[in-house]
Amino acid sequence: MQNPLRLVRVCAPLVLAMFLAAPFAQAQIVSIQNPTSCGPSSQCLNGNPYGLSGILNGSTTLTIPPNGTPGWLVTNNTGSTITTITLVYSGSLASNAQMNCQANGAFAGGNWTCTVNGFPNGTNKPGSGPITITWTAAPGQGIASGATFDLNTASFAAAGQDTGTLSGPTSTPEPRALTLLLAGLVLGGVGFAFRRRLGFGAKSA
């Protein structure tokens, strides 16, 4: 029978080596939180906060450079109180990455919640985007028109593998709508050909 202590001494280094060799999961974080001011940690556009309307409609793109964790000062210039914010991350992530969303500061404590691809707080999404991040306000909460907030990132630093952009979702026709459109075009073409064959479209002499 082998000495248990000897067995532990032999196996322990092997287990430790396997543990150190295994890739650690990294949480790339995108959060909304209390507003600060234009500066190194909160980027502005020409000295002014970024307009939320431009971000949401996709005309303004926020860039996350390799090994960078930028933040942006954003103002609600939509003209109404905002109770939901949806952004899409497009780019690349490390193979062991896990995208995570947060609502901090005045947005925390259940005032706002967030999902990543429909999953609360975060979901594994290695490789490339797009990844949809949505923040939703609780009843009675919201970002008033003209109010500012910070949109921040953290932990986007995996040897340059984490890099991409944040912007509003681009609208694309739903498959059902495309099917109906194609069906209408086909039926319209058939009807036109049938009418022409019967001479309904011919001009009178």
157 and 194 in a common domain: no
Strand order across the beta sheet in which 122-124 lies: 50-51, 71-75, 148-154, 26-33, 97-103, 122-124
83 and 133 in a common domain: yes
107 and 29 in a common domain: yes
H helical segments located in 22-141: 52-56
130-152 exposure pattern, b = at least 16 Cβ within 10 A, e = fewer: ebbbbbebeeeebbeeeebbbbb
The overall pTM is greater than 0.85? no
Confidence of residue 16 (pLDDT cuts 50, 70, 90): very low
Residue type, 100: N
183 and 155 in a common domain: no
DSSP reduced 3-state for 88? strand
pLDDT tens, position by position, 84-96 = 999 999 988 887 7
pLDDT tens, position by position, 129-163 = 689 999 999 999 999 999 999 999 998 876 678 88
Distance CA 131, CA 123 (A): 10
71 and 30 in a common domain: yes
178 and 125 in a common domain: no
The residues, ordered by sequence, that sit 6+ positions from 77 with a Cβ below 8 Å of its Cβ are 51, 52, 53, 145, 146
Instruction: Tell me, yes or no, whether 14 lies in a domain.
Output: no
142 and 95 in a common domain: yes
The residues, ordered by sequence, that sit 6+ positions from 54 with a Cβ below 8 Å of its Cβ are 60
81 and 97 in a common domain: yes
Instruction: Tell me, yes or no, whether 17 lies in a domain.
Output: no
184 and 158 in a common domain: no
181 and 89 in a common domain: no
159 and 183 in a common domain: no
pLDDT tens, position by position, 37-80 = 999 889 999 999 999 999 999 999 999 998 889 999 999 999 99
Q: Do residues 62 and 70 touch, judged by C-beta distance below 8 A?
A: yes
**Could you tell me the residue range of the domain that residue 204 belongs to?**
172-205
Instruction: Tell me, yes or no, whether 15 lies in a domain.
Output: no
Instruction: Tell me, yes or no, whether 13 lies in a domain.
Output: no
Mean pLDDT of the chain: 78
Instruction: Tell me, yes or no, whether 1 lies in a domain.
Output: no
User: What pLDDT does residue 147 have?
Assistant: 98
Total structural domains in the chain?
2
193 and 105 in a common domain: no
